[in-house]
């Protein structure tokens, strides 16, 4: 074929049928490569490996050197002129030299003398690839991991960006190898040296090598010379099922690139010719990864980089259609994925889906949420079924120009390879293995043997695996005699090792399973002389709350997927939550399970199902000499804190709870420190700040009768100096009602302390109080308002509450780290609230969207509860709730101040119907809250199933410590309570006996279920069971 007939990138060796022959291309191919030198030692034909069933042998071989990526290529070795080459090269006819990529290039020399060394140093772009001074060596090394590893555990992105971590060897580079001391050579040895260890591994290893690995070819140059890298298609290449082909498109290479990449870059118009090679070279190919890196259309691509371009969009669409047509010509191909450079993908994406991408926020492309996959169809029927609605497409793999590194953001999105099974040996191959292993032909017929490709013949044609030698596989007589003499000994040793290993594995699995499903119910290690216990409760927080908050934090702080919450790193187990009266518990029954280690009915405050009181772990700890505390962001008379220091049949009885908490109960004062909200239940009803049903001033009783120190302001709290100036007992009521949601509290930090501040103050105060005691302390810390955010379905309020709880958890860990006293932290939730789902298919959407949008929550500046209160106050103060001239002003206020400024919704996205609903609900704060939460939840694609609680299992977290393994696995919530009493080594049953014997109302409380009228509070409704 005439060199000048067409562009010089692909020549006759790209035509169908030319793969297995020596070609005379316009670009010279290298001479045939010498084979590896013959192994000095005879290869053992019988080994312990062949005693195993073929399925077991397959598992061993795949684990040893399968399921990875083989980087197969031809390496150009430059030897000095006149010097003896390292390997003898066969004589090859002279071929034209490779033309230069840049202007001013010229032809090269012939095959005999070649180009001199000095000249080559000056003109690398004129290298004659057929020169005798050049040496070609085939290489094939295994990565330590699969390049396309969908099972990789999440981890933080390496720094700096695009530096591949040591566990992932994409290119075999020595600097990134997990065996840096051995450098590149360690990767190149890989499994290939092990294959030569014994005949059995060699025979069966061929199938694993070619069928169970992904072959990675870099540039079309390697593809055109596959006959010099692996065996001919008749044996080895036909077994290759997975291929990754990387092509660098676009501008010519500079001269310094020519040794590593001896071909010019490819272009789009060359793809049809290139693809015609694949079906003949790899007839068994079932999976193809095609990487098209670089500039496919340089004149357009570089001028519109990362900006919408209709021209570039049209070119991409046309090229994809052609590629889908090409896929239909592959007989065995089942799965194909194509990768583009980001400079093509992002302009296409913005036109195709009308997206606005601010690239200054995504300078780290790993964080871009639009990096997704789109597999191409593999047959003509599927080509016709490609959806025309581009919203249905899942996208394309984006190539980020980083040493062949696969984008981290799509690692876990890869589907498993079709037919990916360990036992897929064909029958001919199995019979062939049996014949070779047994040393006779009795296992297969001569006809079968003749029809099956001989592995010895395959190896003789495989430069990567073997070298010539007619005596290979025929060890001498002495070696055979030695093997026969030791066969019985080897079999005995192997059998013993196999049985012992199996027994050990079975025993280890049984022990682990037994520990997780049947945690020890007996006591933990003997209590130390002094120990502290911190018990944290995240009221209403379920697993979805963690997923929501984790994703939100990673988005707004531009963090990697491996940068998780503090809680995530201390996950311990899960807890079942049902109460004695319902499959769905409330906070009172949940906290009773923690405090008393007994199930009870919904609404019960540390009383049993029959109404009799049960002792709490806090009361028992106080009786045993511990110092005790309660911290909450809701009313300190609410269900969770109340269950540790009070006993009433119904949680609504907050007047009684307040009195018992300060010491007006059967046991006297059991709490040494209380910090939280709910001041109104401690003040008489004849004061503006009071909400009791009587005129009792509980704060006065606490101070005068029980010696409490009392604070009720931020300035008084700050005077405690983080706990150093606390005088116990301390009653700190920091809000009339609830401490505001963290989303709102941060704007009033001069009025309300945070959960973290109250917790650290309590820890410091309790530590100082027990410094000279032989007993430590017990404190319960509740992130109370996670539950309230779930009740009103406010996702923005919820993420900030969970973040505040997570920060408090870290503060407790820091305290434990600095403390000299043994301290254990255990945290869990009483239930999940809201039925939260981090995805939503809205009623107006015909198809589900597999995504949710943290940015929507990030724009919110206030909780929906706060905004609903503002709406009601504004309506009342202006008198515009019933219509008239002020309605327009109220609409403007609702839109501008509440929806746009408060929720962060762009003004153009606010609908008239939403404002109409808000104006109609101006006097009804509860209804307004619901409307506001719907506005933000729908836009963030966050779903809720209820305004109440759910029965989902909740997580347990711990710092670890003596006895905490009892909470591993899945446990009942009463087992959490049982752990608390066992760790502190306190007698809760004695407290229960005393309460039931001494309580003046024990008889009248038994079986009483007081009728309720109206809702309990704005969050919990009627508490129906």
Catalytic residues: 587
- Beta strands in 250-298, from DSSP E residues, in sequence order: 287-294
* Residue 248: strand pairing partners: 293
Q: What kind and span of H or E run contains 634? A: strand 627-635
Q: Which residue has the tokens 């009339």?
A: 736
The DSSP code sequence of 703-731 is HHHH--EEE-SHHHHHTTGGGTT--SSEE
Does the annotation flag 299 for ligand binding? no
The DSSP code sequence of 988-1024 is HHHHHHHHHHH-TTHHHHTT------S-SSTTTTT--
Does the annotation flag 947 for ligand binding? no
CB 519 within 8 A of CB 967: yes
Q: Which residue has the tokens 């001569």?
A: 446
Q: Which residues contact 342 (CB under 8 A, 6 or more apart)?
A: 306, 365, 398, 399, 400, 401
In the DSSP assignment, the letter for residue 85 is: P
Omega cis (within 30) before 729: yes
Q: What's the rounded Cα separation, in Å, for the pair 352 and 395?
A: 10
Does the annotation flag 938 for ligand binding? no
Tokens representing 737?
Answer: 């009602």
* Residue 336: strand pairing partners: 288, 376
Torsion of CA 467, 468, 471, 474, to 10 degrees: 30
Q: Which residues contact 354 (CB under 8 A, 6 or more apart)?
A: none
Pairing of strands 954-958, 822-828: antiparallel
CB 403 within 8 A of CB 177: no
For the chain, the distance separating the N- and C-terminal CA atoms, rounded to the nearest angstrom, is 87
Does the annotation flag 640 for ligand binding? yes
Task: List the helix and strand counts (H, then E) for the chain.
Answer: 36, 20
SS3 at position 64: helix
Q: What's the rounded Cα separation, in Å, for the pair 136 and 229?
A: 10
CB 143 within 8 A of CB 168: yes
CB 270 within 8 A of CB 276: no
Give the max Cα distance, the chain.
113
Q: What's the rounded Cα separation, in Å, for the pair 25 and 17?
A: 14
Does the annotation flag 787 for ligand binding? yes
- Beta strands in 414-464, from DSSP E residues, in sequence order: none
Does the annotation flag 791 for ligand binding? yes
Q: How far is CA 202 from CA 411, 483, 957, in A?
A: 32, 19, 50
- For residue 594, how many other CB atoms are within 10 A of its CB? 27
Q: Which residues contact 204 (CB under 8 A, 6 or more apart)?
A: 54, 57, 58, 61, 433
Q: Which residue has the tokens 């049209």?
A: 314
Does the annotation flag 539 for ligand binding? yes
Q: What's the rounded Cα separation, in Å, for the pair 657 and 655?
A: 6
Q: Which residues are annotated as a binding site for Zn(2+)?
A: 539, 787, 791, 830-831, 949
Q: Which residues are annotated as a binding site?
A: 539, 638, 640, 782, 787, 791, 830-831, 949
Q: Which residues are annotated as a binding site for Mg(2+)?
A: 539, 638, 640, 782
């Amino acid at each position: 074929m005439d060199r000048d007939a067409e562009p010089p990138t692909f020549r006759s060796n790209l035509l169908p049928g030319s793969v297995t022959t020596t070609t005379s291309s316009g670009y010279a191919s290298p001479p045939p490569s010498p084979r590896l030198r013959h192994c000095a030692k005879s290869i053992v034909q019988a080994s312990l490996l062949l005693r195993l069933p073929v399925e077991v042998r397959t598992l061993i071989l795949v684990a040893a050197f399968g399921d990875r990526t083989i980087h197969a290529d031809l390496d150009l070795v430059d030897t000095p002129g006149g010097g003896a080459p390292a390997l003898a090269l066969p004589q090859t006819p002279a071929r034209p030299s490779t033309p230069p990529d840049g202007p001013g290039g010229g032809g090269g020399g012939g095959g005999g003398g070649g180009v001199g060394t000095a000249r080559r140093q000056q003109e690398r772009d004129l290298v004659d690839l057929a020169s005798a001074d050049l040496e070609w060596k085939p290489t094939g090394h295994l990565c330590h991991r699969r390049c396309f590893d969908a099972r990789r555990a999440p981890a933080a992105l390496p720094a700096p960006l695009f530096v591949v971590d040591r566990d992932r060897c994409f290119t075999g580079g020595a600097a990134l190898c997990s065996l840096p001391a051995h450098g590149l050579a360690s990767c190149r040895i890989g499994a290939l040296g092990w294959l030569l260890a014994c005949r059995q591994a060699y025979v069966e290893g061929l199938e694993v090598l070619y069928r169970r690995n992904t072959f990675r070819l870099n540039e079309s140059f390697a593809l055109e010379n596959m006959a010099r890298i692996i065996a001919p298609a008749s044996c080895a290449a036909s077994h290759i099922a997975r291929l990754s082909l990387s092509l660098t498109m676009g501008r010519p290479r500079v001269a310094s690139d020519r040794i590593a990449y001896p071909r010019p870059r490819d272009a789009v118009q060359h793809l049809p010719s290139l693809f015609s090679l694949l079906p003949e070279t790899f007839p068994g190919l079932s999976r193809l990864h095609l990487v098209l890196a670089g500039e496919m259309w340089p004149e357009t691509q570089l001028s519109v980089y990362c900006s919408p371009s209709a021209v570039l969009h049209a070119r991409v669409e046309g090229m994809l259609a052609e590629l889908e047509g090409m896929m239909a010509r592959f007989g065995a191909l089942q799965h194909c994925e194509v990768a583009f450079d980001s400079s093509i993908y992002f302009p296409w994406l913005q036109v195709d889906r009308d997206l606005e991408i601010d690239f200054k926020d995504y300078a780290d492309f790993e964080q871009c949420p639009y990096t997704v996959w789109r597999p191409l169809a593999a047959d003509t029927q599927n080509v016709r079924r490609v959806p025309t609605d581009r919203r249905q497409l899942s996208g394309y793999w984006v190539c980020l120009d980083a040493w062949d590194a696969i984008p981290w953001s799509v690692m876990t999105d890869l589907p498993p390879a079709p037919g990916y099974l360990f036992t897929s040996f064909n029958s001919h191959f199995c019979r062939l293995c049996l014949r070779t292993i047994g040393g006779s032909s009795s296992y297969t017929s001569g006809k079968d043997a003749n029809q099956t490709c001989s592995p010895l013949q395959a190896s003789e044609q495989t430069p990567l695996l073997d070298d010539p030698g007619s005596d290979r596989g025929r060890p001498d007589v002495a070696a055979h005699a030695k093997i026969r003499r030791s066969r019985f000994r080897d079999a005995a040793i192997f059998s013993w090792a196999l049985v012992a290993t199996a027994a050990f594995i079975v025993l280890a699995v049984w022990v682990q399973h037994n520990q997780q499903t049947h945690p020890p119910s007996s006591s933990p290690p003997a209590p130390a002389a002094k120990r502290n216990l911190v018990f944290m409760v995240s009221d209403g927080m379920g697993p979805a709350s963690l997923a929501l908050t984790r994703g939100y934090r990673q988005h707004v702080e531009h963090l990697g997927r491996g940068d998780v919450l503090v809680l995530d790193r201390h996950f311990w187990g899960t807890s079942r939550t049902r109460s004695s009266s319902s499959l769905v518990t409330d906070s009172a029954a949940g906290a009773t399970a923690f405090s008393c280690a007994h199930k009870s009915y919904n609404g019960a405050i540390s009383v049993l199902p029959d109404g009799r009181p049960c002792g709490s772990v806090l009361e028992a700890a106080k009786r045993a000499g511990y110092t005790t505390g309660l911290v909450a962001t809701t009313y300190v008379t609410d269900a969770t804190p109340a269950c540790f220091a009070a006993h009433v049949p119904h949680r609504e009885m907050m007047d009684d709870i307040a009195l018992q908490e300060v010491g007006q109960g059967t046991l006297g004062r059991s709490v040494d420190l209380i910090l939280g909200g709910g001041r109104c239940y401690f003040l008489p009803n004849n004061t503006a700040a009071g909400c009791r049903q009587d005129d009792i001033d509980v704060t006065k009783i606490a101070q005068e009768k029980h010696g409490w120190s009392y604070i009720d302001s931020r300035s008084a709290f700050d005077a405690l100096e983080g706990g150093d100036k606390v005088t116990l007992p301390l009653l700190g009521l920091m809000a009339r009602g609830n401490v505001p949601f963290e989303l709102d509290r941060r704007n009033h930090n001069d009025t309300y302390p945070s959960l973290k501040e109250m917790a650290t103050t309590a820890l410091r105060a309790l530590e100082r109080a027990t410094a000279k005691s032989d007993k430590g302390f017990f404190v319960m810390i509740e992130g109370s308002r996670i539950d309230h955010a779930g009740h009103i379905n406010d996702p923005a309020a919820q993420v900030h509450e969970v973040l505040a709880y997570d920060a408090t958890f870290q503060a407790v860990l820091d305290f434990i780290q600095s403390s000299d006293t043994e301290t254990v932290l255990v945290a869990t939730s009483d239930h999940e609230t809201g039925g939260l789902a981090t995805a939503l298919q809205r009623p107006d959407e015909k198809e589900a969207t597999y995504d949710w949008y943290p940015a929507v929550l990030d724009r919110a500046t206030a909780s929906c509860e706060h905004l609903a209160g503002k709406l009601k106050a504004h309506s009342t103060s202006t008198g515009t709730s019933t219509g008239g001239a002020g309605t327009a002003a109220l609409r403007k206020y609702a839109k501008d101040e509440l929806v746009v400024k408060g929720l962060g919704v762009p003004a153009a996205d606010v609908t008239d119907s939403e404002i109409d609903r808000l104006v109609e609900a101006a006097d009804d704060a509860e209804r307004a809250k619901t409307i506001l939460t719907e506005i933000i939840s729908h836009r963030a694609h966050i779903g809720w199933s209820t305004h109440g609680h759910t029965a989902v299992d909740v997580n347990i977290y711990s710092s670890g410590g003596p006895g905490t393994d009892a909470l591993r696995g899945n446990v009942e919530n009463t087992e959490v309570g049982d752990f608390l009493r066992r760790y502190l080594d306190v007698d809760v049953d004695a407290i229960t006996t005393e309460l039931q014997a001494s309580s003046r109302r024990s008889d009248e409380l038994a079986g009483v279920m007081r009728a309720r009228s109206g809702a309990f509070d704005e969050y919990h409704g009627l508490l129906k069971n």
